[in-house]
Structure 1
Amino acid sequence: MNTINRRLVLGGIGALGAAGVLAGCGEGSAGNPGAGPATGDGGAKGYEGPNVELDFWNGFTGGDGPFMRKLVDQFNSENANIKVKMTVMQWADYYTKLPTAVSSGRGPAVAIMHVDSLATNAARNVIEPLDDVAKALDLKQEDFSEVVWKAGEYEGKRYGIPLDVHPLGFFYNKTLMTQAGLDPAKPPATADEYAAALDALKAKGIQGHWATPFPFTGVLSVQALLWQFGGQLFNEDSSKATWHEEPGVKALSWFTDLVKNGHSPKNVAQDADNIAVMNGKNAFVWNGIWNINTFKEKKGLEWGVAPLPNIGGTKAAWAGSHQFVLPKLKTPDQNKSTAARVFVNYVSQKSLEWAKGGQVPARKQVRDSAEFKALPEQAALATQIDDLHFPPPVPGIGDALAELNKAVNESVLLKAEPGKALADAAARADKILEANRKKYGA
C-alpha cells in the first residue's frame, strides 16, 4: 500500500534525522569522481562536454517512483552526452548508506534529501553548497515560496534546490458524511464546523476522526495544530523546545480529546486511521498529499480532499519537501559537476510530471500552470503553500523531535496528560539540543 511506503517521507522526525552523522563524513577519497565543488555556470548553459554517467540516488520506492523514472528517461533521451542512472532504496537505508558512500568516495553525483535532513548533512560535510546553481539559473525566493526556499539554506549557504512540498491534507469519506447528514461538497473548515461534524457522525455511530499515537500521522497532526494555535516547536535559536507551552498543550489536548470524547477508538494502530477511511469505518483523516493516489486506487471509494481545517485560529499545516542535493566527493570532475547541475535544473522545470505522483511542485510557474490546476486534488492542497511549516535547519533536529513523538504517544494512549507529557519531553529535548550543539560544533 502506498500509504505505508509513505511513512518514510518523514526524514527528520526520528532516527532518520540523525543518520547523516553515522560515517563522520568528511570529503571522499580519490578514484571515483562525482559532483565537484560549486564552480562554473551552475548548469545554466547546458552541458557540451564528453559523455558522462551520473549516479542519482533517492528513496522513491512507492507510487512516486515511476514518475521520477519517467523524468530520468526523458532527460536521458534529450541529453545524449549525459546518462543518469537512478538507484532507489528505502529511505531508512538511504540515510545510512549515503554518508558512508560519500566518506568512502563512492557517493552519487546527485541525490534527493528531505528538507529536515539538510542541515545535519551539511554540517557533516556530506553535501555541497549550491549557491552557484541558484545564481546561475536566476532562482529566487519568488520563484518558489518563502518557506520552501529558505528551508534549503543552512548557515547562510544554500544546500538544497527545492523539488516539491508534500503537505498534510484533510481527506474525507463522502459516503459517511452523507449518512451523517453532512454535505460532502462542504467539508468542515473551522473548529466549530469540525466539532459539529464529529458530533453528527458520532450520533450515527461513526467514530469520525481516528487519532493515531504514532508519528505518522498523529505527531504531524499535533505539529500542525500547534502552529495553528500560534506556537512554535522551538525558540528562536532552537536551543530550547517550546512545544510544552500553551499552544502545544492546546494542540495535543484537542487531538487526545478525539479519543476521550469517543470520536476515535483507543490504541489506533499505525495506518489504521487511513485504512478505516477507505473501508468506510472512519470519516476523516489528516494525511499527506501522497495519499491522493492511494485513495484513487480504492475502487468504489467516494472521497474528497481539502486543506487542513483551521482549528486553532491560524492557517498552518505540516509539510515535508524533497530537495536536490549534490553529495560532496574529494576529487572534483567538472564535467560531472556541470552535468549534475543541468539535470537538477531540468527536473525542477519539468516537475509537473512529478506532481502526478502526489506532490506539490516547488516551482511557482509549475503550480500556476493550467496543467497543474487540472490536477484538482493536488491543486487544492497547493493552496496551503504559504501556510506550511518545516522544522528549523539545525543539525540533528530529528533527535530532539523524537521526544515529541514520545509525548504524543503517551498522551493519545491516555498514559499521561498532555501538559505533563509535553513538559517532560521538552526537558529531555533540551538536553539533546545542547549535546548536539557540541557534537556539530554549533
Structure 2
Amino acid sequence: MRGTPARARRWVTATLSVLALTAVAACGGGNDGSGGSGSADKADLTWQFWVGGTADQAAWQKVADQAHTDHSGITVKLQGTDWNNYWSKIGTLLASGKAPCIIGMQSLRLASYANAMLPLDDLMKKYDLKAGDFDKPIMDGLKSDGKQIAIPYDSGPMVLFYNKDLFKAAGIADPKPGWTMDEFKAAAKKLTAGGKTGLVTTPSDLGTTSWVRTLTGAEPLADGKLNLTDQKFVDGFTTYANFVRTDKIAPQVPSGSNDFETTQFTSGKAAMQLNGPWSLIDTLGKVKFNLGIATIPAGPDGSKTFTAGSGFGISRSCKTPDAAFQAIVSMTSEKPLTTLAAAGRAYPARTAAHPAWFTAAKIPEAKEVIEYASEHSVPLITSKNWVQVNDLLTRFGTQALNGEIPPDQALKTIQDQAGAGS
C-alpha cells in the first residue's frame, strides 16, 4: 500500500513549504538568491526542473540553450531534480524567496505554488507571445485566478491506448472517435479471456477523473472546493470501480506498484489503457504489437476528458523577469518543441510543432483522435492540497476498485480527510 513513512515525510515537507508560499507572496519575495543577475537583454539565469538522469539533463539543457541562441546576452543553466523530490524542493525554494528565476510547473500542481510565481500576462503582451499559438486547454490549465502563471511546453488530453492485434483477433473493429460506453464495455468483455483483460486501470487522479467526467460529467472541484461526495461524482466513480469490482473487465490493482498499469498493457496482458499522448511514443518503443489510440468512450453527454501538461514560469523573487520571460519564449518556441516532439519526449503544446509529433508517432489515426479529444477536453483544475488528495485517492481508490470498501465510502473518507484543505 502506498503512503510509506518516507512518502509521508515528503508529503509533509511539500505541504509545509506550500503553506509558507502565501506569506512569501504577501511580502512580495524580493530576495535575489540564485534567481539570476543582469538586465532584460543580459542575464545569467537558473532553471529548476525535474530531470530523470544524464541523458534527460542533456536533452533539456539543449532546450535551455535555445535562449542563448536567440539572445546572446542571456544564458540559462539547468538544475535538475528527480520527480519524486522536485516538488518538496521547489516548494522550499519558493517559500524561502530564494528560488531560481525559471521554474518548471505541472498543471495538476499549479494551485499549490501559484502565489509564489509571477503572473505572465503583462509580459506576454510586452513581448507579443500569443496564447492562440498554443493548445487552449493547457494554457487555461496553467492559469490561476484567471492569470497566466506558466507557458506550456507539453499538453495532452487523456485517450485510450489499445492493442490492435488483440482487437483484430477478437473480431472487434477499431474504435472511432465518439464510440459509446456500451461499445467499449462490449469490446472489453469480449477481450477479457484467456488470462487477459479488456482494460487495465488504477486510481490515478487524471485517469479516475477523466473516466468520471465522461460517465457523468462530474468534476472533482466545485467553486474551488473538493466535491467528491457529490452524487454525480459518486455515481461516475462507482461505475468506474465496477470495471474491476463487478464487470471484471480489468484486473485487481496491487498496492504500491507505480507501473502496474503500464506493465500490464505493454506486456499484452490488457487490451486497453487510459493514458496521455506524452507517453505514446515511449509506449511504441516498449510494445511488440500494433498500437492504436482511441478517444475515451462517450457517456450520456458525449466523449469528455481532461487535459494536463507542464510548462515554465517565473518566481516572484526573480530580479530579471524580462530576461527570464524572453528565455521562456525561446524555450517554448517551435524549434525546441519540434525537437522534443520528434524525440518522443513531449506532445508539444505549441500547435506548430504538432506535425513532428504525429510523424514520430507513426499511427494513422493519431491526428484525428488527439484533435477530437482535445476539442472535448477541459483542464483538470485542482486544489492547493492536491498532492494529499492524490495520495488518498491512490490508497482508498485502490481499495474501492478491489471491492474491499464501497466506492462511496472511499470518496467520503478522502473528502473528510482532505476536503478542509482544498
Confirm or deny: 8 A CA contact 2:400 2:407 kept in the other structure: yes
Hey, what does 2:4 align to over in structure 1? none
Aligned counterparts, 1:200-349, within 5 A: 200-203=190-193, 205-212=195-202, 214-215=203-204, 219-228=205-214, 229-235=216-222, 237-268=223-254, 269-298=257-286, 300-329=288-317, 332=319, 336-349=320-333
Hey, what does 1:413 align to over in structure 2? 402
Assess, with a 3 A threshold, how the Cα gap between structure 1 residues 255 and 188 changes in structure 2: closer, same or farther.
farther
Hey, what does 1:197 align to over in structure 2? 187
Confirm or deny: 8 A CA contact 1:234 1:240 kept in the other structure: yes
- 2:157 corresponds to which letter in structure 1? P
Shift of 1:325: 0.8
Assess, with a 3 A threshold, how the Cα gap between structure 1 residues 265 and 365 changes in structure 2: closer, same or farther.
closer
Match of 1:151 among 137, 141, 144: 141
Distance 1:252 1:170 in 2: 20
Confirm or deny: 8 A CA contact 2:172 2:187 kept in the other structure: yes
Hey, what does 1:7 align to over in structure 2? none
Assess, with a 3 A threshold, how the Cα gap between structure 1 residues 314 and 69 changes in structure 2: closer, same or farther.
farther
Shift of 1:282: 1.3
Identity %: 23
Hey, what does 1:113 align to over in structure 2? 105
TM-score by length of 1: 0.78
CA RMSD of aligned residues (A): 3.2
- 1:289 corresponds to which letter in structure 2? P
Shift of 1:209: 0.9
Confirm or deny: 8 A CA contact 1:120 1:396 kept in the other structure: yes
- 1:374 corresponds to which letter in structure 2? T
Shift of 1:140: 4.7
Hey, what does 2:3 align to over in structure 1? none
Assess, with a 3 A threshold, how the Cα gap between structure 1 residues 155 and 70 changes in structure 2: closer, same or farther.
same
- Determine whether 1:386 maps to 2:375: yes
Aligned pairs, number:
396
Distance 2:58 2:156 in 1: 17
Assess, with a 3 A threshold, how the Cα gap between structure 1 residues 401 and 389 changes in structure 2: closer, same or farther.
farther
SS at match of 2:315: coil
- 1:419 corresponds to which letter in structure 2? D
- Determine whether 1:168 maps to 2:158: yes
Distance 1:150 1:35 in 2: 31
Assess, with a 3 A threshold, how the Cα gap between structure 1 residues 410 and 326 changes in structure 2: closer, same or farther.
same
Hey, what does 2:6 align to over in structure 1? none
Match of 1:355 among 341, 353, 358: 341
Shift of 1:54: 1.3
Assess, with a 3 A threshold, how the Cα gap between structure 1 residues 308 and 69 changes in structure 2: closer, same or farther.
farther
Distance 2:34 2:56 in 1: 29
Confirm or deny: 8 A CA contact 2:220 2:228 kept in the other structure: yes
Confirm or deny: 8 A CA contact 1:232 1:243 kept in the other structure: no
Shift of 1:65: 5.6
Hey, what does 1:56 align to over in structure 2? 47
Moved more, 266-275 or 178-187: 178-187
Confirm or deny: 8 A CA contact 2:101 2:324 kept in the other structure: yes
Shift of 1:402: 4.3
TM-score by length of 2: 0.81
- 1:181 corresponds to which letter in structure 2? G
Shift of 1:60: 3.5
SS at match of 1:374: helix
User: C-alpha deviations, 1:283-331, integer Å up to 9, x for none?
Assistant: 111122232132222263321222322245332223322121111227x
Shift of 1:16: 9.3
Confirm or deny: 8 A CA contact 2:177 2:295 kept in the other structure: no
User: C-alpha deviations, 1:131-182, integer Å up to 9, x for none?
Assistant: 2222123345533344323333323433222222133221112222222222
Distance 2:395 2:287 in 1: 36
Assess, with a 3 A threshold, how the Cα gap between structure 1 residues 273 and 406 changes in structure 2: closer, same or farther.
closer
Unaligned runs of 5+ residues in structure 1 are 1-13, 41-46, 434-442
